[in-house]
């Protein structure tokens, strides 16, 4: 009895599309921990300058009071001197560009991500993309020590390039692995990993950074987990059911019979780019996505710094408070999805009307959160505070 036969028998116990779904959940979760970890660590990477007189209304007073280990210059500015790993004198504009660097690379590879997956297969597009992001994350402390802000900017752009194709590639994998009747459930499982990463990333980062923890450890932990994930991904997951060496014949036959638009049976038609560019509904969808992403990525990028620099939370509190919005988001995603399905089933509204209602309502609620409630002003681009 060969090892491959034994491995096939054991892996057939769990349907391979469920293995793909679980590994996809871990992939999206880990990818977002690597995406958001800089927002936490940068609060511990920079020298904090505090004016000797607190201006009421702009920031909260420091609960720790005045730290004795400080120096004061002629501008009456107090800079805290830290021990341990080096801290860097980066102003708010520099920090903003560093926090946004990831998305320069992300945009460059996100748009062609689906085409890359079609050409090279979803398995390798996802796997090699996240491996690149993971290795770059592990190398982040080295890049900072060698190149300072420039080195960090470059390594974050590389991380974004690796992560850009992941979501489009998973859309293709869903089409090739999951029957239409199961796609909503599998899509929620896989893409819900983004919120899991947004929850775990800040919270674990806060624990690692607490009590003077080395900020480099955050990058080592999340990047190392990504490399370990890649090893399991290469062994367990494949681009199509027909290319999977360990899938059962029953599951393969089931998928081949129930998946018709996945590219398993025919070559996909070319993309009608001219028609897409002239499509009014497409442009409305793009504008809606821009509105959503503006608020969503602002929260991901800026919320930890706001808690730390303006509200003066300690690093543990910052990690916990930064995770709370995504816990609520993860829970209410399933609640509103269930309500929408229920209302459609009862014919209280159509699918299209439901999507418009929930998209508009939730985006309005999201935007209201950014309406100025205090005199503290946030400069949302390039992500620094002024």
Spatial contact of 67 and 80, defined as CB atoms under 8 Å apart: yes
The C-alpha R_g of the chain, in whole angstroms, comes to 23
Taking the complete model, does pTM exceed 0.85, yes or no? no
- Residue 198, exposed/middle/buried by CB under 10 A (0-12, 13-18, 19+)? buried
- Residue 268 within a domain: no
**Residue 218 maps to which CATH number?**
1.20.1250.20
Q: pLDDT (tens digit, 0 to 9) for every residue of the chain, 386 residues total? A: 444 444 454 445 789 999 999 999 999 999 999 999 999 999 889 886 654 444 445 556 555 544 434 444 455 444 444 444 678 899 989 999 999 999 999 999 988 888 888 889 999 999 999 999 999 999 999 999 999 999 999 999 999 999 999 999 999 999 999 888 788 788 888 988 998 999 999 999 999 998 888 999 999 999 999 999 999 999 999 999 999 998 998 989 888 888 864 445 456 667 788 888 899 988 988 888 888 778 888 888 888 888 877 887 888 888 888 888 888 888 877 777 777 778 877 888 787 777 777 766 665 555 555 544 433 333 333 334 33
Work out how many domains the chain is built from and give that number.
Answer: 1
- Whether omega before 248 lies within 30 degrees of 0, making that bond cis, reads no
Looking at residue 357, its pLDDT comes to: 75
Task: Report the DSSP beta bridge partners of residue 46.
Answer: 88
- Residue 384 within a domain: no
Residues 6+ apart with CB under 8 A from 240: 121, 176, 177, 264
- Residue 141 within a domain: yes
Looking at residue 352, its pLDDT comes to: 75
Looking at residue 382, its pLDDT comes to: 38
Looking at residue 356, its pLDDT comes to: 74
Q: Please state the φ and ψ torsions of residue 381, each to the nearest 5 degrees.
A: -150, 120
User: In residues, how long is the chain?
Assistant: 386
Looking at residue 118, its pLDDT comes to: 87
Looking at residue 164, its pLDDT comes to: 94
- Residue 237 within a domain: yes
Residue 261's H or E segment, with its range, is none
SS3 192: coil
- Find the DSSP H helices in 3-121: 3-11, 16-45, 92-110, 113-120
Q: Give me the domain span that covers residue 120.
A: 15-53+87-242+276-369
- Cα distances from 367 to residues 138, 218, 362, 364, in angstroms, run 35, 31, 9, 5
Half-sphere exposure of 305 (CA within 13 A, CB side): 28
- Residue 60 within a domain: no
- Find the DSSP H helices in the chain: 3-11, 16-45, 92-110, 113-120, 122-138, 140-163, 166-177, 183-191, 193-209, 216-236, 249-258, 273-277, 280-305, 315-345, 351-369
Looking at residue 35, its pLDDT comes to: 94
Spatial contact of 130 and 232, defined as CB atoms under 8 Å apart: no
């Amino acid at each position: 009895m060969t090892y491959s036969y034994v491995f096939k028998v054991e892996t057939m116990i769990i349907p391979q599309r469920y293995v793909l779904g679980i590994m996809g959940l871990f992939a999206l979760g880990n990818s977002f921990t690597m995406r958001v970890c800089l927002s936490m660590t940068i609060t511990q990477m920079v020298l904090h300058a505090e004016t000797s007189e607190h201006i009421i209304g702009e920031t909260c007073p420091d609960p720790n009071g005045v730290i004795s280990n400080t120096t004061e210059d002629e501008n009456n500015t107090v800079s805290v001197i830290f021990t341990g790993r080096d801290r860097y004198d980066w102003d708010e504009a520099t920090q903003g560009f560093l926090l946004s660097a990831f998305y320069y690379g992300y945009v460059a590879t996100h748009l062609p991500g689906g085409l890359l997956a079609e050409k090279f297969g979803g398995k390798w597009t996802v796997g090699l993309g996240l491996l690149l992001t993971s290795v770059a994350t592990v190398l982040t402390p080295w890049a900072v020590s060698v190149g300072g802000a420039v080195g960090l900017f470059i390594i974050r752009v590389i991380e974004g390039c690796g992560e850009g194709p992941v979501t489009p590639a998973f859309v293709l994998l869903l089409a090739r692995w999951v029957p239409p009747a199961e796609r909503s459930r599998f899509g929620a499982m896989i893409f819900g990993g983004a919120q899991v990463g947004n929850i775990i990333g800040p919270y674990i980062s806060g624990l690692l950074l607490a009590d003077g923890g080395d900020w480099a450890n955050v990058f080592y932990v999340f990047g190392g987990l990504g490399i370990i994930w890649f090893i399991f991904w290469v062994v367990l997951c494949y681009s199509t059911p027909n290319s999977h060496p360990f899938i059962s014949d029953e599951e393969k036959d089931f998928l081949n019979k129930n998946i018709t638009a996945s590219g398993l049976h025919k070559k996909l038609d070319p993309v009608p780019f001219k028609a897409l560019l002239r499509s009014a509904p497409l442009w409305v969808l793009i504008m809606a996505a821009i509105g959503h992403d503006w608020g969503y990525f602002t929260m991901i990028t800026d919320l930890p710094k706001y808690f730390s620099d303006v509200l003066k939370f300690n690093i543990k509190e910052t990690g916990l408070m930064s995770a709370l919005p995504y816990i609520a988001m993860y829970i209410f995603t399933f609640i509103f999805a269930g309500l929408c399905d229920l209302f459609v089933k009862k014919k209280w509204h159509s699918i299209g009307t439901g999507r418009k209602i929930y998209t508009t309502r939730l985006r309005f609620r999201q935007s209201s959160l950014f309406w100025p409630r205090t005199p503290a002003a946030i400069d949302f681009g390039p992500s620094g505070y002024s």
